[in-house]
Amino acid sequence: MKLQAAILTQHDKARLIAPVLHRLGWQLSELSSFDTDALGSFSGERARFMSPYECALRKAAIAAELSGADIGIGSEGSFSPGPYGLGTFNLELLCCVNVAAGWAVTGRFYGPSLAQQWHISTPAQLQQALEKVSAGQFLLLQQGSVIVKGLSSTEAKQTALPLLANGAVSLRYDLRAHLSPERQRHIISAAEDLLLRLNSLCPACDTPGFWPDKTVPGLPCQACGSATGSTLEKQACCQRCQHRVAQRVAQHYADPQYCQECNP
């Protein structure tokens, strides 16, 4: 008998995730009766009041409760400036909750994104922007309080031209998953990461999600031997029985530039 799982989504995510979870023998159904935008929307119409992880966990719990399935899955994506403020990075979280067994495992993807936006004042600027849009990517158009979502490039042009007579418009990627091919690829990557974590069991109690994602600083400085803020080891900790396993990083010493004694 296959384990039943349900994902809470209005954006066609089950299609992306189901083939990955099928390798576990899971059967994934899609639950669309709950308005996930009530927890925050990409277009900003509804503010986000939870962290991405809190939101994914909340969605997973709701999916389990409303479906009655063994497993609830919640998906949440977010965009932020990349490292050192360069570019835009996409974080995709897939939280998997087994309420009866008392565990939650989260898969993730974090990487650069092509998400773009433009301030358009003229038809020429509009045409230049549309030529840069990735294949298959849908768009969102805004002028003041008017927001039009889910537009193809052709539809965006037809909608924007009359609006430009009244002033500038904002044009940006519609980042809802069913309208963004790049996000779809990232969600699949998060599902692959979730699969790895679900298959990683605690050696003491077999609870899934035994993953070395806690970093412990203290790698000694190569010049003076003092402990630095660089990672010394990574730890896996079971969320149920608290069994821990530490794994030392391959690097033996930290560069002196990261040492507070040598480079205060």
Classify strands 169-173 and 71-81 as parallel, antiparallel or unpaired: unpaired
Residue entry with tokens 């904002």: 170
Interacting residues of 183 by C-beta distance below 8 A, sequence separation 6+: 77, 90, 92, 175, 176, 177
Per residue in 227-261, pLDDT (tens digit) is 999 999 999 999 999 999 999 999 999 999 999 99
How many beta carbons lie within 10 A of that of residue 114, not counting itself?
A: 15
* Alpha-carbon span 229 to 185, nearest angstrom: 34
Using the predicted structure, report yes or no on whether residue 1 has a pLDDT greater than 60: no
Please report, rounded to a whole number, the percentage of residues in the chain having pLDDT higher than 70.
96
**% of residues, the chain, pLDDT over 90:** 86
pLDDT tens, 28-81? Answer: 999 988 877 777 665 666 676 789 999 999 999 999 999 999 999 999 999 999
